[in-house]
Amino acid sequence: MNEYYTYAYLREDGTPYYIGKGKRYRINDPRRSTPMPPKDRRIILKYFENEGDAFKHEMEMIEFYGRKDNGTGILRNRTDGGEGTANVIRSKQHLDALNEGRKKIYTEEHAIKISNTLKEKNIKPPNQTGKKWWYNNAGDTTLSVECPDLGWKKGRPSVNQWCKLNV
């Protein structure tokens, strides 16, 4: 079953302005930093059986069309594709906004409210779950407290490792 895919958001003239990798309804998810075009200008480029091949194709398409932010092409993508934010270029305004967000200090009342909500719902904060990322030679990843099986390695593979795993 081909559950992963690469997709493009198109300008009115039919040229792509964004390339992405998706699964399920990702192409139609409005919670994105990139503006979403009308439905008739959202296209699926290719389906894949595994995520590694989809990442690889996303990277190839971004390299082919190039990125506006680094002067190599026409796409609004801020990374070279694949998992993570390798080679992302951020504007000074973006970095300033990130730093302002980091400076935000919650009042004691707000912190207590969050803590009580987590306790009521029996939710542990993510950094206290004890889970770690694991990956195997088939290109699968999982979040688990213990190693899932023989052949699994601790951590998440880099883009280069994904490509080697899925050749």
Most confident among 58-62, 70-74, 95-99, 162-166 (mean pLDDT): 58-62
Q: Give CA separation, 61 vs 3, 42, 43, 155, in Å.
A: 19, 15, 14, 27
Average pLDDT over residues 138-143: 72
pLDDT band at 19 (very low <50, low <70, confident <90, very high): very high
For the segment 58-70, the average pLDDT, to the nearest whole number, is 88
pLDDT of 104 reads 58
Residue 35 has what pLDDT?
Answer: 83
Give the chain's end-to-end CA distance (angstroms, integer): 19
pTM for the full model?
A: 0.52
Give percent of the chain above pLDDT 70. 69
Spatial separation of the C-alpha atoms in residues 143 and 121, rounded to whole Å: 21
The per-residue pLDDT for 144 is 77
In the sheet where 153-154 sits, what is the strand order?
141-144, 132-135, 153-154
